[in-house]
Chains A and B, each alone.
Chain A
Amino acid sequence: MSDRVIAPFEGFGLGLRPPHYADFLKREVPIDFVEVISENFMVPGGRPLYILDAVRERHPVAMHGVSMSIGSADGVKPDYLRRLKTLVDRVDPLWVSDHLCWTGLEGFNSHDLLPLPYTEEAMEVVCANIACVQDVLERPILLENPSSYLTFADDEMTEHEFMARMCEATGCFLLLDLNNIYVSGTNHGFDPATYIAGLPADQVRQIHLAGHSQGKDLLIDTHDQPVPDPVWALYDIACRRFGPVATMIERDDDIPPLSDLLAELDIARVRAGGLERAA
């Protein structure tokens, strides 16, 4: 288990997306931190790193990845970790996060966040992989709850129980995507409030707020909509339970003008400001 900690960071941020690069280069954006998709900047050179360096001069940066594949039964890829460490050394981020999922196996990469069975064996694999990552990066990481669309016949515990035990065993921290909790809760019939109540409050370092779409049979985590009311309601619950936690609007598609996202972030500021952590 890692004995390192990530200092709490209070503030409100946005994900850095290509349509907003010019805004971030031209003017001061009134946010407390920026989250970047790690893989977009794990490149040899050129404009992406130029933009990242310029943004880093003005804002604290959190690194958020999609390809770590922390749940792969055949382990985390050394080449990926080396490249990630190079970027970590360049950025000196607030923290490094990825998803509790697997993306590839045995030379195949789906580039999708595939669900894990919540079993004792998966716990062992995930914890071993986290330990490996934290050793290479020389820092604890954050893991985010994914949206999921199926469950496994062999599941032995709930997702939030899995995450709590994972944190205890490895010293890793949590990034909570409240939209993902809502999507998975709706799809699998669990209560998001119970989920939030079951998490280790002291390990939560970041919150994602996002929207979703109604699919034919399931809610789909599209991250292409404004934050809907049920997710705002979960944010109220999370603020009461966790206190001030770095919060951001995460928009991945149909990305609106930056001013729209800043206005949405102001809603988060107001809601968080009106709530206090439960004793």
Chain B
Amino acid sequence: MSLLAIQRGLRDHILANKADRPDAIAASGEAGLAVYRHAYRAQLVACLRDTFEQTWSWLGDDGFDAAALSHVSTHPPSGWTLDAYGEDFPQTLAGLYRDDPEVAELAWLDWSLRRAFDGPDAEPLTPEALAQVDWETAVLTLSPTLAIGAFTTNSAAIWGALSEGQAPPAVDRLPAPAAIRVWRQGLSPRYRTIDAFEQQALAMVLDGCAFARLCEQLAGPDDAERAIEQVGGLLGAWLGDGLVCGTG
């Protein structure tokens, strides 16, 4: 039997998770096959527990592991790094917990913070560089670790309590849909709840909109002065958070 056929046989055996012994395996290999079948699943569940730590804490061992095993059965890993495993886990949880949207939201936050942890480095804009910016033409470059997710519940407060070992608050629907931005400041992953105005402003910046144009569009025909004040406040917050890494 060719090496390719042998490896396909062992791969299919592990994925199927059934006791049938592939032809290529020596007769003494039954116990060993069980070891590899178990190790494959145990490692991936452990990986998901590690990445989605607060989601695991929220669901408990049994609930989390059942969801993780369900995910493993439908999402065999393809990447060379375990870091990449779990990107689709929030969607799996959204399907499993349709009436509990905080579960997938917690998972999104876990995943995004982990990705920010070892995401690309970028130096924040310095005060000296800021003083040179031509705001008529400037297009802001934001941290490459920035991720923005939509939220409908107080899952950010739940995540915060769980991460500090405190009793989490009860689930509460937000009065209006909101969003959370995740990024890394220095070496520390961070997150902040943002309103619809900031969400729209960030979307425009990420879309390459010049800062002056952004001010015009957000101001609209009515209360331009207040909108410009709001945008100025946003810019100050972004600079303070180390979110602005350059201008073009």
Q: Which residues of A contact B (CB under 8 A)?
A: 39, 42-50, 67, 69, 71-74, 77, 79-80, 83, 102, 104-112, 114, 116-117, 119, 121-122, 125, 148-155, 187, 215-218, 220
Partner of B26, one of A44, A107, A151, A215: A151
Q: What CA separation (Å) do A74 and B82 show in the bound complex?
A: 20
Closest chain A residue to B33, Cβ basis: A150
Closest chain B residue to A41, Cβ basis: B118
Given the known inter-chain contacts A73-B2, A119-B3, A150-B28, please indicate yes or no for A47 contacting B187, CB distance below 8 A: yes
Assess whether A108 is in contact with B35, with CB atoms less than 8 Å apart: no
Assess whether B29 is in contact with A151, with CB atoms less than 8 Å apart: yes
Contact with A along B1-29 (1 / 0, CB 8 A): 11110111011001100000001111111
Given the known inter-chain contacts A112-B39, A149-B36, please indicate yes or no for A105 contacting B7, CB distance below 8 A: yes
Residue contacts A-B, CB under 8 angstroms, 27 given:
A39-B83, A44-B118, A45-B119, A46-B118, A50-B187, A73-B2, A73-B3, A74-B4, A77-B80, A105-B7, A105-B8, A106-B8, A108-B11, A108-B77, A109-B77, A111-B77, A111-B82, A112-B39, A150-B25, A150-B36, A151-B28, A151-B29, A152-B6, A153-B23, A154-B6, A187-B32, A218-B31
Given the known inter-chain contacts A43-B118, A105-B8, please indicate yes or no for A154 contacting B80, CB distance below 8 A: no
Q: What CA separation (Å) do A30 and B23 show in the bound complex?
A: 50
CB distance from B128 to the nearest CB of A (A): 23
| Residues on the A chain within 8 Å of B135, using CB | none
Q: What CA separation (Å) do A45 and B143 show in the bound complex?
A: 12
| Residues on the A chain within 8 Å of B82, using CB | 39, 111
Assess whether A112 is in contact with B187, with CB atoms less than 8 Å apart: no
Q: What CA separation (Å) do A80 and B4 show in the bound complex?
A: 20
| Residues on the A chain within 8 Å of B78, using CB | 104, 107-109
Given the known inter-chain contacts A43-B118, A150-B29, please indicate yes or no for A111 contacting B7, CB distance below 8 A: no
By size class, the interface of chain B is 35 or more
Closest chain A residue to B21, Cβ basis: A150
Given the known inter-chain contacts A79-B80, A125-B3, please indicate yes or no for A218 contacting B11, CB distance below 8 A: no
Q: What CA separation (Å) do A114 and B13 show in the bound complex?
A: 12
Closest chain B residue to A126, Cβ basis: B3
Assess whether B35 is in contact with A153, with CB atoms less than 8 Å apart: no
| Residues on the A chain within 8 Å of B31, using CB | 149, 216-218
Assess whether B6 is in contact with A47, with CB atoms less than 8 Å apart: no
| Residues on the A chain within 8 Å of B24, using CB | 117, 152-154
Q: What CA separation (Å) do A73 and B23 show in the bound complex?
A: 18
> Across chains A and B, which 5 residue pairs bring their CB atoms closest together, nearest first?
A150-B32, A149-B32, A45-B121, A150-B29, A217-B31
Given the known inter-chain contacts A43-B83, A44-B118, A110-B11, please indicate yes or no for A73 contacting B1, CB distance below 8 A: no
| Residues on the A chain within 8 Å of B15, using CB | 108
Known: A79-B80, A111-B44, A216-B31. 14 other contacts (CB 8 A): A45-B120, A46-B117, A73-B4, A102-B7, A106-B11, A108-B76, A110-B11, A111-B85, A149-B31, A149-B33, A149-B35, A150-B25, A215-B35, A220-B35
| Residues on the B chain within 8 Å of A114, using CB | 7, 10, 36
Closest chain A residue to B31, Cβ basis: A217
Contact with A along B114-130 (1 / 0, CB 8 A): 00111111000000000
Partner of A112, one of B23, B40, B79, B184: B40
B82-139 contacts to A, CB under 8 A, are: 82-83, 85, 116-121
Asked whether any CB of chain A lies closer than 8 Å to the CB of B200, the reply is no
Q: What CA separation (Å) do A39 and B82 show in the bound complex?
A: 9
| Residues on the A chain within 8 Å of B10, using CB | 114
Given the known inter-chain contacts A117-B3, A150-B29, please indicate yes or no for A46 contacting B11, CB distance below 8 A: no
Q: What CA separation (Å) do A49 and B117 show in the bound complex?
A: 11
| Residues on the B chain within 8 Å of A150, using CB | 25-26, 28-29, 32-33, 36
Partner of A45, one of B2, B27, B36, B118: B118
| Residues on the B chain within 8 Å of A73, using CB | 2-4, 7
| Residues on the B chain within 8 Å of A48, using CB | 118
Asked whether any CB of chain A lies closer than 8 Å to the CB of B81, the reply is yes
Assess whether B36 is in contact with A112, with CB atoms less than 8 Å apart: yes
Asked whether any CB of chain A lies closer than 8 Å to the CB of B43, the reply is yes
CB distance from A233 to the nearest CB of B (A): 25
CB distance from A37 to the nearest CB of B (A): 11
